[in-house]
Every structure is written in C-alpha cells, then in structure tokens.
Chains A and B, each alone.
Chain A
C-alpha cells in the first residue's frame, strides 16, 4: 500500500442491503445447484440432435405445446427475437420474477406486462443487442408486440414478436 495510490474512501454495505443481497444469492444457489446444472447440460446434449431432426422434418409441428416456466425467480425480457446464449449473455434484461405467489393469474400476460414496463421505461430498444444507459435507449418508450415463451432451461422469456415467434425460435409458448 502506498500514499501514491490516493486511497479511496472507506465504505461498507448497509446491513439491510447485505441481508437482501445474501437472501438473493442463496435463493439463486438453491435454485441452481451446480450438480443439477451439469446434469441438465448433458441431458440437453443428448436430446438436442433429436430435437433438431424433428424441427427440420416439420418446422410447423416442431413445438406447439405450451410449457410452464420451472424457474420461478427469473424472467427475461429480450430486445431481439433471438435466444442468444441461454446460460450466458443474451440480448435483453433479466428481472426477478414476481406474481407467482399462488394468485390465480395469467402467467404469460403477467410476464408480458412486466417486460412491457421495461420498454416503457426506455430500457429496451427493439433490435439492440448491447445494453446501454437507459437514456440511450428507445427514447419514446415504445412497446412492440410481445410474446412469452419458455426457454429450454425453464426460464420464462418475453420476446418482441407475434404469434408464431416462439415456434420460430423452437420454443414452447409460456403456459398461462
């Protein structure tokens, strides 16, 4: 350590924020155990060839079944109708998923509504693949037509698009 380094101020994270962060992190760890993630990856490799073959044989019939999201703490809002890397970076924003506390509601509509909020808040712009600051995006807060699908990892995802977009991406629609 040296005075040359012009020492920054000493700060600490507030206790309530630490508690919230800890709860968030541990919830994620419990929902995504490492061993389960690895098993899922292997299973996906095994079945992917079959899925691809089915898609080629009949694109229209490849995926027509609605599927519920199994990951209950995350919702993805995409700015492009492109899945990207489902376990890594993707063109959009991830949200804590809410509204799944036992109330009878249309899950797909709720997911679309939540992502529409992001568009209205100018945090997403159609076609944008790299995030920027909110004021750089979608200056008018326009909300394009949105559809809700379910990713292969069980996360609910809302894409700009219309009926048929989920199928075009090889994804089931998010079950209501």
Chain B
C-alpha cells in the first residue's frame, strides 16, 4: 500500500482478479492491466498449445483479453477469486473462432515487431521453431480425439485447471470432465503405442 499526500492508494497486486475486474469496469484500466500481467503467459501457452503456432498465439493472446473485456458482465471467478479458468475458456472459444484469422491479418499488416539485436532474434526464432515442431507433433495425435476431449485435455492436463474449474468453464458436469479426460488419455496411450510400433 503506497501513500501519496496522505491519501491511501490501492495496491492492485494484492487484489483478487474479481476485485480488479470490478475496478476496471468502474473506470480503472490499470486494474485490467494487472489481470493481464498475471495471466498473459498462461493464456499465451494455452493459445500456443491449441493453435500449434507461436505467431498465432501472439495475436490470439491480445484477442483473448479484448474478447474477455467485450464479454464484460460479472465473469465467473474461481473459489480463490482467480479469473484464469474463465480466461482460458474465452481463449478456447477465441482459438476456434474466426478471431484467429482476424488477428493474424492485423498483425500481418500493422504489427511488425520492433527491431532487436540479431543474436537475440535468432535465438528466439530458433526456440519458437523448435517449440512449434514439438507441439505440432503432439497435435497430430491429439487431433484424433473428439474436440470436446481435446479441450478438456488442454485445460486439465496441460493448463492444470481443476476438474471443477474446467467444468465451470465448459459448462458441463464435473463427471463429464472426468470421463472426457479419462477417454482422452486412453486414446492417447493407444495412439502413442501405435506410433511407436510404426517406428
């Protein structure tokens, strides 16, 4: 808590997402910035895993936060006040919607990155290419699963959401989350075994 001229200033870092959201909707954009800072990397990873593309994930990440803001209302927070499960749910929708194309175009035309030292850029590009190769290899298997099972795998298996939070995000009973995840894992085991045999 910081004080300026005797006035107690709010410290956004100590507030739950739910409180920050209310502050943001009351006209404090910086509160939304704090939510962004907390969850940008988790949202980015989720977008990357679903899209299989680092470039797409860059653009989708912005789109997710803007879409979340546009949806507005009183978003469902987890028990600890976190909006991350909800944001990942929004990300899931954004990735499978046209927003992907839309934001890719925005970037293509108007979002050329600022120039950076060549060595840094080369390292980053190499890392991104390597990660993309790995995720695309994995997605070849995962895309054999039904769409709903893929989403549960990404939310629970990869992003680490609880069954309860995933159920809330996807609007289905907890039992459905359990059965989808169980089915997804069984199918992945089968696919992995098939792949190893083929090699």
- Taking Cβ atoms with an 8 Å cutoff, the residues of A that contact B are 1-2, 4-14, 16-18, 20-22, 24-26, 28-30, 32-35, 37, 87, 89, 93-96, 98, 114, 117-118, 121, 123, 130-133
Please pick, from A1, A8, A89, A121, the residue contacting B135 in the complex, using a CB distance under 8 A. Answer: A8
Give chain A nearest CB distance to B68 CB in angstroms: 9
Q: Is the CB of B157 within 8 A of A1?
A: yes
> Which residues of B sit under 8 angstroms from A32, Cβ to Cβ?
69-70
User: What distance in Å separates the Cβ of A94 from its nearest Cβ neighbour in chain B?
Assistant: 6
Question: Which residues of chain A have C-beta atoms less than 8 A from B176's C-beta?
Answer: none
Contact A131 B109 (CB under 8 A): no
The 8 Å CB contact of A34, one of B25, B44, B109, B160, is B25
- Chain B residues contacting A114 (CB-CB under 8 Å) are 109
In the complex formed, the residue of B with least CB distance to A132 is B101
Contact of B101 among A25, A26, A133 (CB under 8 A): A133
Contact status of A8 and B69, CB under 8 A, knowing A13-B44, A21-B58, A132-B101: no
Assess whether A37 is in contact with B109, with CB atoms less than 8 Å apart.
no
From residue 45 to 85 of chain B, which have CB atoms closer than 8 A to chain A? 45, 48-49, 54, 57-58, 61-62, 65-66, 69-70, 72
Contact with A along B97-133 (1 / 0, CB 8 A): 0100110011011110110100000001001101100
Determine the chain A residues whose CB is within 8 A of the CB of B127 once the complex forms. 11
Partner of B98, one of A9, A11, A131: A131
**13 A–B contact pairs at CB < 8 A?**
A1-B157, A9-B131, A12-B44, A18-B41, A22-B37, A24-B62, A29-B69, A87-B70, A89-B98, A96-B110, A121-B109, A130-B98, A131-B98
A11-B131 in contact (CB<8A): yes
- Per the bound structure, the CA–CA distance linking A123 and B58 in Å amounts to 20
9-residue interface stretch from B3-11, B88-96, B166-174, B185-193: B185-193
Interchain residue pairs A-B with the least CB separation, the first 8: A5-B157, A4-B185, A13-B44, A131-B101, A9-B134, A9-B131, A21-B62, A34-B25
Closest residue of chain A to B127 (Cβ to Cβ) is A11
Residues of B near any A CB (own CB < 8 A) = 24-27, 29-30, 32-33, 36-37, 40-41, 44-45, 48-49, 54, 57-58, 61-62, 65-66, 69-70, 72, 98, 101-102, 105-106, 108-111, 113-114, 116, 124, 127-128, 130-131, 134-135, 138, 141-142, 153, 157-158, 160, 185, 188-189, 192
Having A2-B157, A16-B116, A17-B113, one finds 15 other A-B pairs with CB under 8 Å, namely: A5-B158, A11-B48, A11-B127, A12-B41, A13-B40, A13-B61, A20-B113, A25-B36, A25-B69, A26-B33, A28-B66, A29-B29, A35-B27, A121-B109, A130-B98
Given A6-B138, A98-B110, A37 contacting B27 (CB threshold 8 A): no
| B44 touching A11, Cβ below 8 Å | yes
What is the distance, in angstroms, from A132's C-beta to the closest C-beta of chain B? 7
Cβ-closest chain B residue relative to A7: B158
Chain A residues whose CB sits within 8 angstroms of the CB of B189 once the complex forms? 4
Nearest residue (CB) in B for A13 is B44
Query: Please, how many angstroms separate the alpha-carbon atoms of A22 and B48 in the complex?
Result: 18
**What chain B residues lie within 8 Å of A20 (beta carbons)?**
111, 113
How far is B109's CA from A118's CA once the two chains are assembled, in angstroms? 9
CA distance A131 to B84 in the complex (A): 29
